[in-house]
Structure 1
């Protein structure tokens, strides 16, 4: 049967249920247990044994096996699945007053995908299957569309993301991912709360998008008659709070960047940004290490995890190494020796680096060497330290090493997971860096932000020494849930509109 024919047949069953006086779209059901509770509580029940305690459970029918006077359904709720054992004699005796033909109706008017509520006792069948031995049932929701027969192994991955609700129904491991995501964010908030941080929400709509280099989404406010940007970071407003007297603040929220889509990038994503007054980047590294290991231990119960077949050891302390040292390890080049851009580019090209035309300084070449030769090799958790000032417009200059800043990035499985600084508190230096960015914006750089005058005013009132960090929550969830793509860690990732006869990319 085609999907249209199946839908028409099910609509006919909806009509039959209504003719019989039953509402195929119920208002309420009271359960006493979930499937996982019953599976755990009666794990030791012997085959053929019945427990004369009535239970009530509800869920979606995933499978039906119907015989003459017996039927066996597989019922799935949020926690797992359990078998329903339906016996004609038992059901007719219990439901005769309400529906004299109840057994035939459950056989004939239900389908895979329907949501059913049942009451009965617990029994393990002679074949060893723990079951709810049904006395009464109610059809709570009649499904009109069939579940896919062979969802596992579908090559059309985009359909799983587009119809995530179906993906969640038929793939329990997907529900596990989003349950773990919720546990991860809860563990993060709990950890920060225990360390004296408070969460304060900052604006999503901003007059000047700042705190990162990224192309923003632009919208328009009708009443104020002005263009606004969806935020590309929460940084500059959280720092305003530090200026205002809060010493430990954070926000876990959505960020929007109008840029490419890949297995690592989604235009809408979640970050955690944390700022601590009177701290520097080394203090923040310790905070990140403690926060992530605590979340992993809370969610997974271990610091020894596997990501896409690779063993990852999250046991602290994690490796700390400078960008210069890591690049030299992989290329043999000490970029600190170069005085001119041409010297750096010549050495980089000899080491096999490509696409250096946009590099405007030795620091940019160093960063390009890191991205091309080092980043993908950092499988175990590694803090990369001391970045060039040219690529770090919000970080404080290194106290001992000219041309560098006090910045770290955390890499795990070759991906940046956190980015932290000793925050720049000098308003004059900050203005110069903002103006350099604004000049690039005026020259056509779509990712360069402008000058945030209000933030500069805040800095002129004085911000205490501060350490801060941003952590990509989606990438952290990818790590803890073994997700190959960021779309697997986001419940409803953004997708192109579906077009007939066009393959999704």
Structure 2
């Protein structure tokens, strides 16, 4: 290990010496501001017949290098892939060729030359000019997949993107899917808007917020956990269809499917209900898959999943009956429900009622079975403080969660627009906060005022974009679909 570190330090020293020599010669690459690129690697390969024998200008990072006396080959990687360049001493002046020989893997170069095909049939660029644009002072790993420290890929994403083409592919798929959802909504008359990320009240969801402080106002503020309450205000104001995609922040645990900072989209439609939101959910997810992958049938970690609409529908009580073996049609009181919770080894918490038990049994026994796309509907009112009650059974709400691969990817409901009922539910949430529930919602007086002004019947939907991207890219961790995921800082334990 010591020898390896010494060798690495020696290689790093040599690279710095090469840079110093270039600077002494007046050829400092860091003084170059611009390089005109005419073509990318894939352009040249796909249009070889038209470009053969013509001069092109490419730029990229040296990924491999093979010198044989008076000639050499390098593989240059740009944003679209790699292409080979053939460099001969007799096509460059002697000084430039001698400098070229000293270039390292990882250096960024610009090459002007003619497109041709080698004797082995590889489309390449025969260099007439090679310009060093950036000197790399670090060593690229030769076999990135062989690294044992998985965290390093996330901490140094820039290196991960250079040496692992599959990583870049995943983020290209993500980009296509995000464009697709915007396209789907825009074509249906939705207006994309922006709402505050810094809030004086953390509302719109049940989650623990990040707290910061505004010095000028001398007040604590919260990074948003959801944008729901602002978007509903816009529906009150007269916009009938709105959506916003952006970062949300929840000060909670981290796992393969949880990152404290994540991307979600929320949309609201006046004069629509949760049934309409169901149609939008299954159709927009299928549309994203079709646009990004060319199919609605995907494979996730070896499991075949069919995103084609329509998706299965099942009430929460039906799911609890099927997977937990408990029929809540026969359990009407809180006392009976709590006794069942004890029998099923569900943790009892203060203020726990029948609806909380139904939800807890669902999470414990049913979620793990929901691999194929499934809508779970009619959540208890106790766990749905912003959803409209079902008119036939006021103990449940007209709400759904969409599950794929056992994960919740979307949450939606017919929005509660009764200000009196909403205030009562906020007060119930406040009581839960007083009992120690840091995820219970806060009282938002201005939102209640907006409801009193009048919110039309409205359907609302939120989709967790990162989890959908995990599915579309076959990624085992949410960190694989976030360019720069949240990471614990590396602490230097060396003594001063």
Same fold (TM over 0.5): yes
Q: 1:168-187 alignment to 2 at 5 Å?
A: 168-187=161-180
**Superimposed CA distance per residue, residues 399-421 of structure 1 (whole angstroms, 9 cap, x where no aligned partner):** 22231000001100110000000
> In structure 2, what is the Cα distance between the partners aligned to 1:319 and 1:359?
33
1:353–1:372: 8 Å Cα contact kept in structure 2?
A: no
Deviation at 1:20, TM superposition (A): 2.6
Aligned to 1:72: 73
Could you list the runs of 5+ residues in structure 2 that have no partner in the other structure? 1-5
1:335–1:362: 8 Å Cα contact kept in structure 2?
A: no
> In structure 2, what is the Cα distance between the partners aligned to 1:416 and 1:81?
39
SS, match of residue 52 in structure 2: strand
2:156 to 155, 158, 163: 163
1:438–1:450: 8 Å Cα contact kept in structure 2?
A: yes
Aligned to 2:88: 87
Deviation at 1:16, TM superposition (A): 1.7
1:104 to 85, 98, 114: 98
C-alpha spacing 1:445/1:241, structure 2 compared with 1 (3 Å): same
Confirm or deny that 1:396 pairs with 2:397.
no
Confirm or deny that 1:264 pairs with 2:270.
no
Confirm or deny that 1:55 pairs with 2:60.
no
2:299 to 306, 310, 314: 306
**Superimposed CA distance per residue, residues 314-359 of structure 1 (whole angstroms, 9 cap, x where no aligned partner):** 1111111111112211122212311233433444554x54434567
Aligned to 1:118: 111
Q: 1:239-254 alignment to 2 at 5 Å?
A: 239-254=232-247
Deviation at 1:153, TM superposition (A): 3.2
2:64–2:105: 8 Å Cα contact kept in structure 1?
A: yes
Deviation at 1:501, TM superposition (A): 6.6
SS, match of residue 152 in structure 1: helix
Confirm or deny that 1:493 pairs with 2:492.
no
SS, match of residue 298 in structure 1: helix
Aligned to 1:188: 181
- For these two proteins, the number of residue pairs brought into alignment is 488
Confirm or deny that 1:431 pairs with 2:433.
no
Instruction: Give TM-score scaled by structure 2 length.
Output: 0.95
Confirm or deny that 1:41 pairs with 2:47.
yes
C-alpha spacing 1:377/1:451, structure 2 compared with 1 (3 Å): same
> In structure 2, what is the Cα distance between the partners aligned to 1:372 and 1:444?
22
Deviation at 1:368, TM superposition (A): 1.2
1:420 to 376, 390, 412: 412
2:109–2:130: 8 Å Cα contact kept in structure 1?
A: yes
SS, match of residue 308 in structure 2: coil
2:346–2:361: 8 Å Cα contact kept in structure 1?
A: no
Q: 1:209-228 alignment to 2 at 5 Å?
A: 209-228=202-221
Structure 1 residues 2-11 or 159-168, which shifts more?
2-11
SS, match of residue 54 in structure 2: strand
2:10 to 5, 11, 15: 5
Q: 1:228-377 alignment to 2 at 5 Å?
A: 228-350=221-343, 352-357=344-349, 360-377=352-369
Confirm or deny that 1:18 pairs with 2:23.
yes
2:350–2:435: 8 Å Cα contact kept in structure 1?
A: no
Confirm or deny that 1:145 pairs with 2:151.
no
2:351–2:432: 8 Å Cα contact kept in structure 1?
A: no
> In structure 1, what is the Cα distance between the partners aligned to 2:247 and 2:468?
15
**Superimposed CA distance per residue, residues 146-193 of structure 1 (whole angstroms, 9 cap, x where no aligned partner):** 101221132211111111111111111111111222222111111111
Instruction: Give TM-score scaled by structure 1 length.
Output: 0.93
SS, match of residue 85 in structure 2: strand
**Superimposed CA distance per residue, residues 67-105 of structure 1 (whole angstroms, 9 cap, x where no aligned partner):** 1112111110111011111122223xxxx3xxx422121
1:66–1:72: 8 Å Cα contact kept in structure 2?
A: yes
> In structure 1, what is the Cα distance between the partners aligned to 2:229 and 2:457?
15
Deviation at 1:233, TM superposition (A): 0.5
> In structure 2, what is the Cα distance between the partners aligned to 1:78 and 1:268?
27
Aligned to 1:32: 38
C-alpha spacing 1:245/1:389, structure 2 compared with 1 (3 Å): same
SS, match of residue 147 in structure 2: coil
Deviation at 1:247, TM superposition (A): 0.5
**Stretches of 4+ moved more than 6 A in 1?**
none
> In structure 1, what is the Cα distance between the partners aligned to 2:375 and 2:463?
13
Aligned to 2:128: 135
